[in-house]
């Protein structure tokens, strides 16, 4: 891996390079996605079935679009029993973590008859998108469905592209069943997003769509936002490791490669104050590359978006960490918990040499659907709050309103909204 001295100019250059991977730069595909969405919105099932045949090679019909209970049962038979046990344990951890995020409605009543509060309500229908094609990700199935289930969503549906024979990956089906999905539909790509956003004869309209996908899925989610809610526009995966001279270089190399193998656009960055560590990490990366199965993808990812940055001190390193705002941040310093208090921007933080990033991907419990491309500055991981709505509650007695109605009227009149002012004045026009 390239070793570069961290400076203002190198940091900005890296930021500019990373931002090239943002879905906001996929404008070349927007016209195609827009056409797919418009047609599905107009024609419903007819367009959805046509696109599935065109892109996935499977002839959808109203009778076969929904995965049956028998197919789900067969999926359990096809999966290794030990893997099923691991999926169940992972689901338990995810469910327990997200249960801690639950909020209750609250009300604050005062003696004068003022009651203010917040009513917490789960959304009615959630749609989960699960990629298919080259790879299947049962872990992402758990991370999408379980928070919605914990939140109390009434109906959770899932769409995922079928193979040419109509089959859906058995791991995906088992994970969805364990997580508590209500229905699974064979549909993928932008057409599946459009179907969930607007509804068709076969696929119900949902209130929110979550889940990762390719460029077309990302752009489709962006396009339907406003008709439905979405989690975020996910970009390629990324990891940033912050380390000092106490860190284990072999662990760091392994962790950097764990994200670089996702795809050629994935980013893997080490920021360290130790030149010796930087050189040893680079050497360990080369050693691992000769042994790992996705060597070509790994090499392209590291060539394009892999960096080892040498910082003068930890303050300079932390400034860069907060500016990059990585999806995954590992802190491998002599006191990682103290270092963590100085981090403002990161999707998920992993502390210490035994908190390897894949632990978060698969098993620990926190959600692995995280903000990318610097959006950790203002976005959060998928969580229970993504599946609830908050409604304000206001109740005033006559006594309470009488004390303040003049203030309300004055404020309204200052904005030339006399009907607003009249709305409170009229309640006291009898002078009683």
Closest C-alpha to 372, from 262, 213, 235, 214: 235
Dist. CA 432–CA 429, nearest whole Å: 8
Closest C-alpha to 17, from 247, 259, 292, 236: 236
Q: Which of 98, 238, 316, 327 is catalytic?
A: 327
| DSSP summary character for residue 396 | -
CA of 391: how far to CAs of 4, 85, 107, 119, in Å? Answer: 51, 40, 12, 5
Is 327 annotated in the active site? yes
- Count of beta carbons in the 10 Å neighbourhood of residue 139: 20
Q: Which of 98, 238, 316, 328 is catalytic?
A: 328
- Count of beta carbons in the 10 Å neighbourhood of residue 73: 12
CA of 322: how far to CAs of 14, 65, 232, 375, 380, in Å? Answer: 13, 45, 20, 11, 15
**Residue 6 contacts residue 271 (beta carbons within 8 Å):** yes
Paired strand residues for 270: 241, 308
Closest C-alpha to 349, from 305, 381, 308: 381
Q: Helices 275-289 and 249-260 meet at what angle, rounded to 10?
A: 50
Closest C-alpha to 323, from 25, 71, 8, 55: 8
Is 328 annotated in the active site? yes
- CA 363: distance to chain centroid? 16
Dist. CA 184–CA 186, nearest whole Å: 7
User: Burial, 373: exposed, middle or buried (Cβ in 10 Å; 0-12, 13-18, 19+)?
Assistant: buried
Helix (H) or strand (E) holding 331: strand 328-332
Strand-strand pairing, 388-395 and 115-122: antiparallel
Residues with active-site annotation? 327-328
């Amino acid at each position: 891996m390239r070793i570069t001295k961290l400076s203002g100019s190198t940091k900005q250059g890296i930021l500019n390079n990373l931002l090239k991977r943002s879905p906001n730069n996929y404008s070349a595909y927007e016209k195609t996605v827009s056409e797919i969405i418009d047609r599905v919105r107009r024609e419903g099932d007819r367009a959805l079935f046509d696109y599935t045949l065109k892109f996935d090679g499977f002839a959808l019909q109203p009778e076969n679009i929904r995965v049956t209970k028998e197919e789900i049962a067969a999926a359990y038979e096809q999966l290794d029993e030990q893997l099923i046990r691991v999926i169940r344990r992972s689901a338990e951890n995810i469910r327990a973590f997200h249960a801690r995020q639950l909020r209750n409605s609250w009300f604050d009543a005062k003696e004068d008859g003022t009651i203010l509060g917040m009513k917490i309500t789960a959304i009615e229908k959630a749609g989960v998108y699960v990629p298919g094609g080259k790879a299947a990700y049962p872990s992402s199935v758990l991370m999408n469905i379980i928070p919605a289930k914990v939140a109390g969503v009434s109906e959770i549906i899932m769409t995922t592209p079928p193979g040419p024979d109509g089959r859906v990956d058995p791991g995906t089906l088992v994970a969805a069943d364990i997580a508590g999905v209500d229905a699974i539909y064979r549909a993928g790509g932008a057409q599946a997003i459009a179907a969930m956003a607007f509804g068709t004869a076969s696929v119900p309209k949902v209130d929110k769509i979550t889940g990762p996908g390719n460029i077309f899925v990302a752009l489709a989610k962006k396009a339907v936002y406003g008709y439905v809610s979405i989690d975020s526009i996910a970009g390629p995966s990324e990891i940033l490791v912050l380390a000092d001279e106490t860190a284990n270089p072999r662990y760091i190399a392994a962790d950097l490669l764990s994200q670089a193998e996702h795809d050629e656009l994935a980013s893997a960055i080490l920021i360290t104050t130790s030149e010796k560590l930087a050189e040893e990490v680079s050497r360990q990366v080369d050693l691992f590359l000769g042994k790992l199965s996705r060597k070509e993808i790994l090499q392209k990812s590291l060539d394009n978006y892999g960096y080892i940055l040498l910082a003068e001190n930890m303050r300079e390193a932390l400034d860069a960490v907060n500016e990059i705002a990585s999806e995954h941040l590992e802190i491998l310093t002599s006191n990682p918990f103290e270092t963590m208090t100085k981090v403002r921007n990161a999707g998920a933080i992993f502390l210490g040499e035994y908190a390897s990033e894949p632990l978060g991907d698969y098993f620990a419990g926190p959600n692995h659907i995280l903000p990318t491309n610097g959006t950790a500055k203002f976005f959060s991981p998928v969580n229970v709050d993504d599946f609830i709505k908050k409604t304000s509650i206001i109740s005033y007695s006559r006594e309470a309103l009488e004390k303040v109605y003049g203030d309300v009227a004055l404020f309204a009149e200052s904005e030339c909204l006399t009907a607003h002012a009249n709305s409170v004045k009229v309640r006291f026009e009898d002078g009683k």
